[in-house]
A and B are shown apart, each in its own frame.
Chain A
Amino acid sequence: MPLLDVAGLRVAFGDHEVVHGISLRIRPGECVAIVGESGSGKSVTARALLGMAGAGARTRSDRLRVLGRELGSASERTWRDVRGRQVGLILQDALVSLDPLRPIGREIDDPLRIHERMPPAARRARVLGLLARVGMPDPEFAAGRRSGELSGGLRQRALIASALALDPPLVIADEPTTALDVSVQARILSLLDEIREAGTGILLISHDLAVVSRLADRILVTRHGEVIEDGTADDVLRSPREPYTRALIAAVPTERPRGTALAVATSAPAAIPGPPPTGVPIATGSDAPERPPLLRFDRVAKGFSVPGGRLLAVDDVSLALRPGETLGLVGESGSGKTTVARLALGLTAPDSGVVLLDGEAWSSRPERERRPMRRRIGAIYQDALSSFDPRWSVGRILADAASVGARGTGRPAPRVEDLLDQVGLVASVARRRPLNLSGGQRQRVAIARALAAEPDVLICDEPVSALDVTIQAQILDLLDRLQRRRGLAMLFISHDLGVVRHMSDHVAVMRAGRIVESGGTEAVFAEPRHPYTAQLVADAPRLTP
């Protein structure tokens, strides 16, 4: 008997249907994954399977059976009995998915208290046992902590423990590892794998094919609330039938060398229009090391005061970025990547060492002298929306940036239409406000703004982390194309090894403020010398059919 047997599940908010008849089955010890980008209806589906699609939602189904019991028209009371006892739910980011005001021990205890008549001492023992089972060091101590007092990985374990409290036969995991560092992600995925090995059925919801490929037996690809492809993980990943699935797979940058386009028009046939064949070196890249660096960090250090001392966010960092070349900077959260970006942009001054721009002093200049030089360095950020004045239209934003380039060089300012055109946006976007654009469009506008002043160097700080994978692919392709056309030097900062590997000629791996390893991208990734790099590479999710 399948743990979960759903046919023709539809969810509508008012007249607007967002899930159009999804069907799936999960057997004990099986992991079924629903993969899709934002707006694919995957999270609503997950909640509908717990009878919690939300206020104002109408859920219909031909069949909705949990452990053989039909729940299609179940009362809230029946659903409450199912939740936590028969189906557990794991959400993204335990910082907010566990009540920040309650100790995690109490949160894990909740299902026991609600569903079982157990003496407090037995519940307490059970909670500690659960914490141990999910690999929490020192369960006694952890049970008394609140989610904010634990690290991201540990609190995610606590969240998993709370879903497993009553050993439900089925667990729904909605983006369980999103926003975690890769090393933590790898460990959480192995924990989920252990749970599955123990016989629990898992419904895994994710936007990330690489994560899914690690765990799933079956994969359902959803788009706009419909399942467009459904098959075993092997079949879907190795021989996808649908163009959209192919596009999704192609968009994952892992191990795809520089110069290969990631984005595929979803209507295009199987062949990926990837111009240069695999592994062709880029002419402007590493074969011209004798060119003087445009941007140079020379033994730069920068610290911040924290209670009880000083935290060195950047510790003795030396970097060189040459014209036409991309330097990838990779590291986990808190490694000091963003501080490097701010130092490069001259937004913060180093405590020691210097940053040089085109051989001239950059970090050591007074702001007044630095200002005229600023147009030579452009920047794009992770959150494009917040980098735009909310009162300004796209046209005004771009015209403002273009005037800077014109002022510095005497060239005529580029026209807004041309700026939009080169990032693949139509001219009418100029009249709109960034708030009303999609994430991908906003990032395109941000790129257009950065290029409007015709810079020589572009600093990209996590430019695609907030985007869906197919959009990410388009933006990466765009950046790559623009860089070639203009011979830009690019400092590309990301936590995503795949993205960095795809984009960079050279790469520097950062950990706790220090560069632990650097060199040519393929050399570093293929044969990492430093154990930390090796671990990162090993932990990085990749498509493993």
Chain B
Amino acid sequence: MLAAGAVFVMWAVATLTFFAIRLIPGDPAEAILGGPGSQASQEALDQVRRDYGLDQPLLVQYLAMLARLVTGDLGTSYALRTPVADLLGGQLGGTMLLAVLALLVAWILALGLSLWSTGRARVAAAVGEGIELTAAALPHFWLAAVLIAIFSTGLDWFPPIATGTPAGLVLPVATLAIPLAGFLAQVMRESLLDALQQPFVVSARARGENTTGLRLRHTIRHASLPAISLSGWALGWLLSGAVVVETIFAMPGLGRTLLQAVTLRDVPVVTGVVLLVALVYVVMTVVTDVASRLADPRLRQEGAR
């Protein structure tokens, strides 16, 4: 059931992207040869049209694209003239590493903050709430600049551009993780507060459980549930954020490639990145769905009802 939904979404994304791209004014063949100003010869244009299958009817092109997609062929870049799959394949790893690290860091920050700030005096709660609110409002592009200004230019702790070393990853990961941690902490704190008000907390305390045991054995699970189900959304959000972060930190990756392709209108590359991100998002949604069900038996029952 989940898999069928995922396949449907992927098909729809591919279809939507394919036809959206056809809305671009101008001749794709000209775009391939460097845009309208390039004054390419008629023979060259015809050649390109044949190479890229642009002389075929739209429906044939569409079906051909679907057929290619099934085999993992994403077409050829207009600008670089290399297969898109090869181009992106080399960059997926770096971007995924960045996103997954950021997700982990965000989880840890959020859990720490929400555990620290809930069930305490009003001051701590207000401070916690303020930190979350501010963190969630930070735009990546600005946070990155501020972090660079402080930790590179000012303190010289970390390099301002990605160097491929672990130190070079610190600022990009922090840039992505901090706002996400703000969002996750808000959700976690609310469900923590909810959980603390539940009668089962009274039961547990009445058995002699202390505060630490209560948190470790009871409330932390409840706090984690919504954050687990949010992780699919979070990863997609991080991949979108990677566009900005990779650009600022001059990191090779899907995001920067996408931005360059958007600026150059390199349609196959844009399509390829969009499909790849959609695939990651869809897979992650399925994974978090399954994870939520594993963690929360109530969801399993709802599904069966």
Contact = CB atoms under 8 A, between A and B. Distances in A.
Interface of A: 47, 50, 52, 80-85, 87-89, 91-93, 96-102, 107, 110-111, 114-115, 146, 148-149, 159, 162-163, 165, 306-307
Given A83-B205, A84-B208, A307-B304, A99 B298 contact: no
B208 A111 contact: yes
Contacts of B221: 99, 101-102
B297 A101 contact: yes
Given A114-B209, A307-B305, A148 B298 contact: yes
Interface centre among A92, A96, A163 (most CB of B within 10 A): A96
Given A100-B297, A107-B203, 6 more contacts: A83-B205, A96-B199, A97-B202, A100-B200, A102-B221, A148-B301
B193 interface: no
Interface stretch (B37-45, B162-170, B210-218): B210-218
Contact of B202 (A52, A80, A115, A146): A52
Contacts of A159: 203
B198 interface: yes
A93 B208 contact: no
Contacts of B222: 101
A162 B213 contact: no
B81 to A, nearest CB: 53
B206 interface: yes
A97 B207 CA distance: 12
A148 B297 CA distance: 8
A81 B208 CA distance: 6
Indicate the size class of the contact surface on chain B.
20 to 34
Contact of B208 (A91, A98, A102, A115): A115
Given A102-B217, A148-B298, A307-B304, A97 B208 contact: no
A110 B202 contact: no
21 contacts: A52-B202, A83-B206, A83-B207, A83-B208, A84-B206, A84-B208, A85-B208, A88-B206, A97-B200, A98-B200, A98-B203, A99-B218, A100-B200, A100-B298, A101-B225, A107-B204, A110-B207, A114-B209, A114-B213, A162-B203, A163-B206
A93 B203 CA distance: 11
Contacts of A115: 208
Given A101-B221, A101-B222, A149 B301 contact: yes
The SS class assigned to the B binding surface is helix
A128 B212 CA distance: 27
Nearest to B210: A80
A357 B225 CA distance: 50
A110 B218 CA distance: 11
A388 to B, nearest CB: 26
B298 A50 contact: no
Contacts of B51: none
A528 B207 CA distance: 44
B295 interface: yes
A101 B202 contact: no
Contacts of B202: 47, 52, 89, 91, 97
Nearest to A52: B205
B296 interface: yes
A83 B296 CA distance: 28
Contacts of A102: 217-218, 221
Interface in B181-235: 198-200, 202-210, 213, 217-218, 221-222, 225
Given A91-B199, A100-B200, A148-B298, A114 B305 contact: no
Nearest to B295: A101
A172 B210 CA distance: 20
A101 B209 contact: no
A17 to B, nearest CB: 22
B301 A110 contact: no
A87 B203 CA distance: 12
Contacts of B297: 100-101, 146, 148-149
Contacts of B304: 307
A306 B305 contact: yes
Given A89-B203, A97-B203, A80 B218 contact: no
A334 to B, nearest CB: 13
**A-B interface, 3 closest residue pairs, ranked by CB to CB distance from nearest:** A89-B206, A84-B208, A84-B207
Nearest to A112: B207
A150 to B, nearest CB: 11
A165 B2 CA distance: 42
Contacts of B217: 102, 110
A85 B206 CA distance: 9
A99 B297 CA distance: 11
A46 B16 CA distance: 62
B208 A99 contact: no
Nearest to B304: A307
Contacts of A163: 206-207
Nearest to A87: B206
